[in-house]
Amino acid sequence: MITRLQNVKRLGAELGAGALETLFFEDGVILGWNLDRQADQTLDGRGGTVVPALIELHAHLREPGQEEKEDLESGLAAAAAGGYGTVVSMPNTAPVVDDPALVRSLIAKAEGLGYARLRPAAALTKGQKGEQLAELALLKEAGAVTFTDDGRTNEDARMLRLGLEYAHSLGLVVSVHAEDATLRADGVMNEGAVSESLGLPGNPVAAEAARVARDVELARLTGARLHIQHLSSARALEIVRRAKADGIVVTCEVCPHHLTLTDEALRSFDAMYKVAPPLRTQADAEALLEGLRDGTVDCLATDHAPHTSAEKERDLLQAPFGIPSIEVAFPLMYTRFADVLGPAKIVELFTSAPARVMGWTLPSLEEGAPADLTVLDFETEREVKVSEFKSKARFSPWAGEKLRGWPVLTVVGGRVAFERASRPDTNS
Ligand code: DOR
């Protein structure tokens, strides 16, 4: 079946100035632009800008075992609504994704849903316990795309070394949640002036910086590809900057919440803002933005971490860590930072940049590429409405904010995975 997507602009230097064009695809593969072809189906991009579908390297979809928080269906539908065509899911589920049969069944189930593609991460160690490596070769064969004990930390340096060596021999990246658990201890927020004034246990920057320093040394030692997840502090970023200057193969991601929120938000005592690693200071957020500008930070990822409202309504000491953001990440980044980074750079940080981190073929809208694409509306301001979320986590630090840059159409493998109602509802 041939589909034409009409009334779209291409992302150019002069954003919004582009002419309206038509993109053709057939059976999930792009045929080309402005062809003189009949089509079986027509999609209307409504004047939006078409880009390759966004790629998410870090989302908690909670299946199996925690479906009250999220499941593949709600999580991948939420991802498609956020403009994502591909999602790397984290393995800290119940049971942990350390079994090739489980990787296969998750992929098979996701394929049947018709939302974003699932490319699961598998655990680096069995049960994410840090004691024994998981069956990395079999997990790769089953479809795992990276190994990580995310959600937990890698306390045993020798185990991480072995994991890096093994993963490297398989050509895959090891992704790490870089915090020293002994130093983080029972900290529920950034350690600093705000935690002191609130009397809450703090998690110092040193917990992240010390662990990043150790992990880049392991990358140096092994020559393996190390990816540092959700970097949150200026200190840790500086260590990555120096490691890169030294030629160490290390990449890192930052999350929208660490760029747009600070530990001041915890003054509300609202556990919605409780996340690991924690929200830091304004100076940290600014350093991370500079890291995006100068290329020290490789890509954006959400660390979408859904929990039930009941869990997040507990007090700060009891509530679980995590902020859901997969449905708002792009418009949030676009609205806040298009002036500083430019729209093309922001799109890159959500598309080619994560693909480069994983060593995947770079996404493109040229003939022969998969028809995975997203139409973005840079013009219309829409409010963040949690009631409209596809995610089961219907709360958001950005609820009520007016944002631009919303995905209005997401196509995955040539099929519509998400379409936004054409006019924002202004009544509620
Ligand atoms: O805030 C977080 N939430 N950080 C993590 O590392 C895990 C995640 C989760 O699974 O909820």
| Ligand 1, atom 5: closest residue by C-alpha | 151
CA 306 to ligand 1: nearest atom: 11
pLDDT 10s digits, 247-260: 999 999 999 999 99
> How many Å lie between the centroid of ligand 1 and the Cα of residue 29?
35
Q: Are residues 68 and 27 in the same domain?
A: no
Residue 424 lies inside a defined structural domain of this protein: no
**Residue 63 C-alpha to ligand 1 middle, in angstroms?**
14
Q: Are residues 33 and 105 both part of a single domain?
A: no
**Half-sphere CA count of 314, side-chain side, radius 13 A:** 13
Do 35 and 100 belong to one domain? no
Side-by-side strand order, sheet with 146-148: 121-122, 146-148, 173-176, 226-228, 250-254, 299-300
Assigned domain for 427 exists: no
Domain that includes residue 212, residue range? 53-358
Q: Are residues 291 and 399 located together in one domain of the fold?
A: no
Provide the pLDDT for residue 15: 52
Q: Which residues contact 369 (CB under 8 A, 6 or more apart)?
A: 29, 30, 52, 363
Q: How many whole angstroms from 276 Cα to the centroid of ligand 1?
A: 6
* 59, 193: one domain: yes
Q: Which of 58, 211, 275, 391 best tests ligand 1's pocket when mutated (most atoms within 8 Å of CB)?
A: 275
Residue 427: is its pLDDT beyond 50?
no
Our count of domains for the chain comes to: 2
The average pLDDT across 361-376 equals: 98
> What is the arithmetic mean of pLDDT over 365-393?
97
Q: Which atom of ligand 1 is nearest to the CA of 320?
A: 11
Query: Of 180, 303, 372, 377, which one is the catalytic site residue?
Result: 303
Q: Which of 340, 358, 376 is the last residue of a domain?
A: 358
Are 242 and 260 contained in the same domain? yes
Q: Report which ligand 1 atom has the smallest distance to the Cα of 323.
A: 1
Q: Considering the domain boundaries, does residue 58 fall inside one?
A: yes
Whether 61 has a binding-site annotation, put simply, is yes
* CA angle at 182 for the pair 176 and 183, rounded to the nearest 5°: 90
> What token pair was written down for 314?
């507990």
The alpha carbon of 327 and the centre of ligand 1 are apart by a number of angstroms equal to 17
Summarize pLDDT for 130-150 with one digit per residue, the tens. Answer: 999 999 999 999 999 999 999
Residue 421 tokens read as: 């109602």
303 included as an active-site residue: yes
The reply, when asked if residue 154 is annotated as ligand binding, is no
Q: For Cα atoms 7, 113, 104, give the angle at the middle one, nearest 5 degrees.
A: 125
- List all residues whose CB is within 6 A of at least one atom of ligand 1: 60, 92, 150-151, 177, 275-276, 305, 320-322
Taking Cα atoms as reference points, which of 15, 18, 38, 13 lies closest to residue 26? 38
Q: Is 322 annotated as a binding residue?
A: yes
pLDDT band at 422 (very low <50, low <70, confident <90, very high): confident
Average pLDDT over residues 75-103: 98
Q: Do 319 and 371 have their domain in common?
A: no
Shared-domain flag, residues 33 and 176: no
Instruction: Compute, in angstroms, the gap from residue 193 CA to the centroid of ligand 1.
Output: 24
Q: Which of 358, 382, 407 is the last residue of a domain?
A: 358
Q: Quick one: pLDDT at residue 149?
A: 98
The answer to whether the beta carbons of residues 115 and 77 sit under 8 Å apart is: yes
Distance between Cα 275 and ligand 1 center (Å): 7
Minimum CA distance residue for ligand 1 atom 4: 276
Does one domain contain both 38 and 175? no
425 in any annotated domain: no
> Which residue has the CA at smallest separation from atom 2 of ligand 1?
322
Residue 80 lies in a domain: yes
Mean residue pLDDT of the chain comes to: 96
Please indicate, yes or no, if residue 153 is contained in any of the structural domains: yes
pLDDT at 424: 59
The residue nearest atom 10 of ligand 1, judged by CA position, is 151
pLDDT score at 372: 98
The proportion of the chain whose per-residue pLDDT surpasses 70, expressed as a percent, equals 97
Integer Cα distance of 422 and 2 in angstroms: 24
pLDDT score at 12: 74
Test site for ligand 1: of 60, 90, 326, 392, most ligand atoms within 8 A of the Cβ: 60
Supply the residue whose CA is at minimum distance from atom 6 of ligand 1.
151
Is there a single domain that holds both residue 297 and residue 388? no
Residues 6 or more apart in contact with residue 98 via CB below 8 angstroms: 91, 122, 123, 125, 126, 127, 128, 134, 135, 139
In the prediction, which pLDDT does 426 show? Answer: 46
pLDDT at 128 over 50: yes
Q: In which band, very low, low, confident or very high, does the pLDDT at 17 lie, cut at 50, 70 and 90?
A: low
* 390 and 326 assigned to the same domain: no
Residue 426 lies in a domain: no
Q: What is the pLDDT of residues 390-418, one digit of tens each?
A: 999 999 999 999 999 999 999 999 999 99
Is residue 187 a contact partner of residue 205, using CB atoms and an 8 Å limit? no
**Domain final residue pick, 335, 358, 381:** 358
Coil/strand/helix, residue 359: coil
Residue from 382, 240, 239, 392 nearest 326 by CA: 392
Atom of ligand 1 nearest to the CA of 274: 1
Report the CATH number at residue 372.
2.30.40.10
> CA 426: distance to chain centroid?
29
Of the listed ranges 6-20, 32-46, 77-91, 196-210, the one predicted with least confidence: 6-20
- CATH code at position 239: 3.20.20.140
**60 domain-assigned:** yes
Tell me how far apart the alpha carbons of residues 57 and 384 are, in angstroms, rounded to a whole number: 23
Q: What is the CA radius of gyration of the chain?
A: 21
In the predicted structure, residue 197 carries a pLDDT above the cut 80:
yes
Answer yes or no: is pLDDT of 423 > 90.
no
**Ligand 1 atom closest to the CA of 60, numbered from 1:** 10
Q: In the predicted model, is pLDDT for residue 74 greater than 80?
A: yes
Half-sphere exposure (CA, 13 Å, Cβ side) for 133? 18
- Residues 83 and 44 occupy one common structural domain: no
As given in the structure block, the two tokens for residue 289 are 């933005």
